[in-house]
Amino acid sequence: MKFFLRLFLFLAFGFSFIFASNVTETKEILLKKDEQKKILVKYANKEKLFQFRWTLYKNGGLVVFRSYDKIVAQSMLYLRHENQSFRVELKTKGATFHNAPYILVKFKEFKQDSKQALFEIFLFDEKEQISLEELKK
């Protein structure tokens, strides 16, 4: 029985490393209420603007507004829940992209003393064609 348990654990961890996503870049961003973060997404000869902000923190939930490539959306993120993050695809899927590059924005912490939300941004880009540039106001 111990042998099968060890074998199962070995295979489970081995496959998790094989099928892990390719995180190209990570950033941490601390935002006050209604402070907008702008990130310029560059690839090929294109530049697109990704921006987001949060407006309300109530009962452990954070309301976040975001826009990218003329698509505007709103998310409700929670710290201790399945909805901790949202995903934004940066390019459309096509013949050359099985997995389109995307940004994952995760709500990491809310600092009660300063009333600021901490986000973690992950860039997943297998072909490493995307670059992110934070814009200052």
pLDDT of residue 18: 43
Quick: pLDDT tens for 69-122: 999 999 999 988 788 999 999 987 765 656 788 999 999 999 999 999 999 999
Number of neighbouring beta carbons within 10 Å of residue 70? 7
Which domains are assigned to the chain?
Answer: 22-135 (2.60.98)
Pair 122, 26: CB distance under 8 Å: yes
pLDDT of residue 41: 94
Q: Residue 39: which of 124, 128, 126, 123 has the closest Cα?
A: 123
Burial state string for 10-43 with b = 16 or more CB within 10 A and e = fewer than 16: eeeeeeeeeeeeeebeeeebebeeeeebebebee
pTM of the model: 0.79
Measure the CA–CA gap between 101 and 46, rounded to whole angstroms.
14
Strands 61-68 and 102-111: unpaired
Quick: pLDDT tens for 11-42: 555 554 444 457 778 899 999 999 999 999 99
pLDDT of residue 116: 97
